[in-house]
Structure 1
């Protein structure tokens, strides 16, 4: 079977460092085009393509004139799918146009700037795909990291979950390449970097806990510690699952603390993960035995793009890439931000069963 023709929509840092290499690495895909708002940005992205392959990739942009617009990309019959990586507030409109044109979509996280917009987008997708048969997948590379998958399976072996701790602390400095992205420096969406990066971590937590330990309610406090990271850069939350377990979620992107740690306590042990390293402690007290496993470091992007390509060819959406799953990741983060805005008011969650 011939590779599927795809276009990449966007020309930012993640496109250049992750999406282009991932698309080129998949034997199931052929990169046909890159679109960006400016031709210079599209050209800069194309420069990352090695060898003669760049000459076969057509460039499109908003300033390239007639026949080179986003809509022109969508008119191409040889382009079956698009990978969309645009600013958070802009993505839904581009997703809708691609779906309406019958193109399969893989869109970067979060699925939308808030739950209300995400629900509207998902409803639109269900309506239009009934006719076009186009599929809508949302990228979440953490779900394709082998360390997280292993940790989730080990948690199931240790009995009932009794508690969990998430600690994610670092300083997003003004010199950071992602901070210098204008739409991130002055965010037009809730949470700033807490949302932009945080949905990956709520996805990781939900992957570890599983549907039987879906979060049912939470309380949280938020604050702005570093003035360059509005509207908030710190969350301290207490989460309660439908199974009755209580856990903490501590995330700060403007702190001198440094931590990246997920711990899940079970009746018969503990699982600790830092991404590529997973420690499983089996037993209690003096009888406990710890086993450490280190996985090859990977962003998970190459794996998720390959999974998307396979889903296009098979006609079966990958269960780790559904927009409903991404809605649950977004809701968990949004409810923490909402609770913080309401001085710790308890929030009930509706979409956590979608894991």
Structure 2
């Protein structure tokens, strides 16, 4: 008989002896609870454990029947009473075992979650450069220590994690393993790539509807996960609220530069756009929207007029109006780089 099965008759007999001694209810099932805690720690499946108690009860019952037949001391009514009491004890013992097992199982799960959260925090804060820490994180989080990796930040419009689960499944199909953590501001994922080519991964991410995702540049190994995490968060911040798109860090480098230097960004807006922003909202909104399109069209009034839309002369008049307000040279050459950056900085702060 397996060891766990041999323990059941002993546990049941101890329970009966304690009941006869009128032991307090709190200690009647100490042995059962100890077994539940220990077997959960050892990883024995609960079904196997409870089956051993059922087998133990059956063995005790068969022993009682054998003794009753041999001695002819018990009639049918006595056996019914004893059988009922026996299975009451077995049922309650099994219940106590299961409760203790689940309590220990929950403790183990919580400890594992806390450990995983600690490893995540360490990686995102720069501890990936520590070889011992990186080795443990690689083992527990199932992430390679070396090799191409990107970090993605998914906008927190997915409270149950369904979008992230779907992403993980689709990424797995193309050979990209991922692990995820939910944070206060977003879901964060580590994506392990087969190569430094990010195109296929971006295609999969962009097939996800109604979600904003910031994707870091490709880094190598866990030592750079903190850098990639900051890139992913910064990229996510460059996406306008309620916009559903997937953007990589390399596609938003000017925006990332401005977000990383808020004082410079503020100064650019003040110098290049301050006089325009001082106008009433309807007026400065029309001027700035036209100016943004004019910059995107490399200073072409005709193409700007098609996109705004308005007459070409209206575009020229608005550009001259901005030049008069700011005192800056506009219209005689391609749009200045500073103006493009100032407009980007204004859009970033305006959309937050």
TM-score tier (shorter): under 0.3
Q: Which has the higher strand share?
A: 1
Q: Which has the higher helix share?
A: 2
Instruction: Mark the structure with the bigger radius of gyration.
Output: 2
TM-score between both structures, scaled by the size of structure 2 = 0.23
Q: Flag the structure with more relative contact order, 1 or 2, with Cα contacts below 8 A and sequence separation at least 6.
A: 1
